[in-house]
Amino acid sequence: MDLNGKIVLVVGGAGGIGLGIASALATEGCRVAIADSNEEALVNAAKAGGGDSEFLWQTCDITKRKQVSQLFKWLGDELGPVDILVNSAGINVGNRMMSNIDPEDFDHVMEVNTTGTFNCIHAALPIMRQKGSGLIVNIVSLAGKRAMLLAGMPYCVSKFAASALGTFVNLEECGNGIKVTNIYPGETNTPIVDKRPSPPPPEKRVKMLQPEDIAACVVTVAKLPDRAIVPELIITPTHMMIA
């Protein structure tokens, strides 16, 4: 499918995987807007662009449903109704074991990684139903498939829930022309790894997936014809093979 002119919203688009996806889709001719909670990062990301112009951008706290509703109204006014929604916003915390987790940190991780994703999907679906088409891409994590000590308890719990959310919406909305793809990346070189109790050194980061690797997957999925759907896609670095 030709992606030229498709209207894309990348939530969590100010950096990391989200920015990589935004740039790749803009290069394909999509009209891309990015949203994030960090205004300074958004301004810098918008200048990076990926096509012939800067990205449109809007700050949004996706844990606040009113702000999410305003985000989609803004997108409609600026570009038009969304064709492709990419949910790439995600956080983690340093103290991530059950033995040392601060309950407020647990709540915040769940609010962003799970409830925030729900809020964005919930706002996008009426628009996509009216169009009779749409693609939602959820950047989950391999930690949403398998509990991993490295990722930590709150992150795993939030990502398992986000995985179930995307799968359920896919089952419910596929008949309405709306497709959902959950992508499960393994270790990826993004700022979130800085939150680890022991951040990895540069020599290990170069062996991880890079944002452009996941972006290439999203472009491939988005280009598929209407008859085809990819419910799940796992991508890992070679040192993280799973069976």
Catalytic residue list: 155
Half-sphere exposure of 239 (CA within 13 A, CB side): 8
CA distance 11 to 151: 21
Contacts of 237 (CB under 8 A, 6+ apart): 186, 187, 207, 208, 209
| Residues in Cβ contact with 198 at an 8 Å cutoff, skipping those fewer than 6 apart | none
Residues forming a β-bridge with 234: 184
